[in-house]
Structure 1
């Protein structure tokens, strides 16, 4: 075999290995939004970089567990992960992004404050997460039904909201006060954080709730659950949205990015007849601040960063919002004159709530126990008193990661 032929043979043999290396797998929530946006961008990304992106999409709880398992077991299937504060136990396995962010000036144009600790994720003082999919838990109201009932939707507290429920239902027995994706158990904590204004970590550095305040919030949630649609304690996101759209519920409590495009679709009976109001309560509205994490086992970190910029960068923000309803961390989206004019019924409340929106300072297991116990309280399987006692007893055995403890101090979540 001649030298040139031999070299060609070597090149041909090597080609598959090179092509195989030029790929990455991205884990993301299967929501019909984030995953679909990733799939839409993957083809162009491959055309520009030669790298194939595999989108591994899972429901939220499974996504969280898969991300953790992938790192802990060293399986290393995913090079870029979607997640948030509930992945704190594996933060040490994520690549610091400070140099990448600085090199590409990726802070320029972000909504103010979204890179702060407690909103974006840090480990040992280094930023490890980059934000996308910004959303704030919201309350949407049917203008016609509330007007008919004589209800002012300017709810300062959840007690105000609860009082409105009785008024609304007294005017029309066929209309429930509100709908909510009750079938997703992790969603119930949005009511808890909205009403509860106590701390989450005690003086000794352990997870713990203020008993009196937590019991009061538990009682409130149990009362609220009485005003769901009939057989409404296991509603999917789609079912909750449809109940509101079709006038079977006067209000909807959910993530706006999972509802607003559906409510404003052509042919929707509620289009032009609803608006979003400020989230009630002395606590805080939950922030959905999805983060992109680069795993330290990623073989090509520059390629991983290129995908992160492509998916979460400003160039994709408008298309991701218009096509998939994904809220953006980029200010330019909210300054777009055409979009701004179309969203006078929802954006003002969202942007007003954004400065006070927060992530929880809980690990995944602590959050799971809170949500599951709140479900028991809401559905009458345990009393608020017993439920809060059970939460504190279980939480006493959970470790507070230092990174979340540091954030908790900054946001006032630690008992003084």
Structure 2
């Protein structure tokens, strides 16, 4: 096979198409002497959650610091591209970036945060384990990412529909889940088994990591266990047969609405993108659904949004002030109540009023959290997996051919040392 262009080679060529930051928010009165930096820019995903929280916080941050503040919000794929190209080309638009493990190849450009975390005692009160490698991001043994948006991939069920179908909703494996679909659809002829944001291609990997219990690395290279991976590919192709009609290109909002409006008996998605919507007073599903434990035998994906401080930030004190203000415990309750942002802070889940209001979803989320993980894949490896699984799910290639093409392509993708170390610690490396 000829040498392939890397993901970064391709995306460097797209710099001319990068989206510029959002307009600078109005400047407030300076609460303290102006910092060295005359402006501050934060890149974040446009989702109506994280970006909205940041935009609402920005005026108060400007008033406190005297620093003109920009919130640059982009859809996930563009955010990832813009963060990477901003560093690789030395454009240096953003001082703090929101991201995750898929930014691994620019980790050397992020500032270690341990001393700042310790100085502000900012680890106290965090849910145990969320600051560990594999959940928070590290480079050369140094913590470089600080968590702020914690979510675990979930399965939500319509209580009345599953009762009518005689299905408990407790699925030990994804094979159990797909086996229940014909029963549900026979009992409810006008209802699909489940909905899912299929129009976002990267979301399909949640089914793969949930159903696959094999390794991802062998002999220092990315490689799937062929037999196990093919079985999961076949299972995903079967699952796709039980989506709503024309349901293989649904947005997050469309998938949520299909479940809320009774067109699907279950919903598989990130809970933070759905739960507030499902629990609105106008929702016909309010009080009639609950979240169940994510099926195995693999693991539920962890959405552990991190804040990274870029080493070119002109005033690192201002950058750190934004991180601890936006992601600190003081804003946790507001971020959850107003925007639905899952919190890494234990106190939120111990709040008696909130706890009583979330008996239908928090128990499953908190039970799944200890086994949730990030994929141990670089951005280019994850892209290829997602794109190929889309072909398998939609019947364009067989599971056998799809997995073979993944392993063939993956042989050319380097495994970043940071991810290799994490992979070893979570059992994702095949024994030699």
Query: One fold, TM greater than 0.5?
Result: yes
Please give the per-residue CA displacement for 1:141-197, whole angstroms capped at 9, x wherever unaligned. 000000000101110011111111110000121000000000000000000000000
| Runs ≥4 residues deviating over 3 A | none
Shift of 1:330: 0.2
Once the 2 structures are TM-superposed, how far is the Cα of residue 47 of structure 1 from its aligned partner? 1.4
Q: 2:69, 2:383 → 1: CA distance?
A: 31
* Alpha-carbon distance in 2 for matches of 1:216, 1:188: 15
Matched, 1:57 2:73: yes
Equivalent in the alignment of 1:276: 291
The reply to whether residue 334 of structure 1 matches residue 326 of structure 2 is no
Q: Which residue of structure 1 lines up, in the alignment, with residue 269 of structure 2?
A: 254
The answer to which of 34-43 and 44-53 deviates more is 44-53
Residue 385 in structure 1 maps to residue 415 in structure 2: no
Residue equivalent to 2:192: 176
Alignment deviations for residues 193-225 of structure 1 (CA, whole Å, 9 cap, x no partner): 0000001100x1000100000000000000000
Q: Pairwise mapping of residues 229-308 of structure 1 onto structure 2 (< 5 A)?
A: 229-308=244-323
Equivalent residue of 1:413, what SS?
coil
Matches of 2:420 and 2:282, distance apart in 1: 48
Counterpart secondary structure, 1:44: helix
- Which residue in the other structure is 2:92 paired with? 76
2:205 aligned partner: 189
- Specify which of 366, 369, 384 is matched with residue 351 of structure 1: 366
What is the DSSP-based 3-state SS (H/G/I as helix, E as strand, rest coil) of the residue aligned with 2:69? strand
Deviations 1:69-100 (CA, angstroms, capped at 9, x unpaired): 00000000000000100000000000000110
SS of 2:217's equivalent in the other structure is coil
Q: Does the 8 Å contact 2:36/2:314 carry over to 1?
A: no
C-alpha distance in 2 between matches for 1:215 and 1:280: 18
Q: Determine the structure 2 residue equivalent to 1:33.
A: 49
Match of residue 107 from structure 2 = 91
Q: Are 1:321 and 2:336 an aligned pair?
A: yes
Deviation at 1:20, TM superposition (A): 8.7
Deviation track 1:359-413 (CA, whole Å, cap 9, x = no partner) reads 0111111000000000000000000000000000110000111000000011111
SS of structure 1 residue aligned to 2:193? strand
Deviations along 1:41-69, one digit per CA (max 9) or x if unpaired, are 11111111112220000111110111000
**TM-score, length-normalised on structure 2?**
0.91
Q: 2:235 maps to which residue?
A: 220
Distance, in Å, in 2 between the alignment partners of 1:67 and 1:39 is 18
The size of the alignment, in residue pairs, is 398
Identify unmatched segments of 5+ residues in structure 2. Answer: 1-33
Distance of 2:339 and 2:68 partners within structure 1 = 22
Unaligned runs of 5+ in 1: 1-17
Q: Would you tell me which structure has more helix in proportion to its own residues?
A: 1
Please say if residues 385 and 406 of structure 2, whose CA atoms lie closer than 8 Å, have aligned partners that are also in contact.
yes
SS at match of 1:21: coil
Deviation at 1:22, TM superposition (A): 2.9
Q: Helix, strand or coil for the counterpart of 1:373? A: helix
Of stretches 19-28 and 111-120 in structure 1, the one that deviates more from structure 2 is: 19-28
Instruction: Name the SS for the 1:25 alignment partner.
Output: strand
Residue in 2 that maps onto 1:163: 179
1:128 matched to 2:140: no
How large is the Cα RMSD of the aligned pairs?
A: 0.8
Look up the match of 1:398. Answer: 413
| Partner residue, 1:144 | 160
Q: Aligned-pair distance for 1:260? A: 0.1
- C-alpha distance in structure 2 between counterparts of 1:179 and 1:413, whole Å: 29
Structure 2 residue aligned with 1:45: 61
Aligned partners of 2:35 and 2:318 also within 8 Å:
no
Contact 2:39 2:67 in 1 (8 A): yes
**TM-score normalised to structure 1 length:** 0.95
SS at match of 1:272: coil
Deviates more, 1:255-264 or 1:46-55: 46-55
Contact persistence 2:256–2:274 (CA under 8 A)? yes
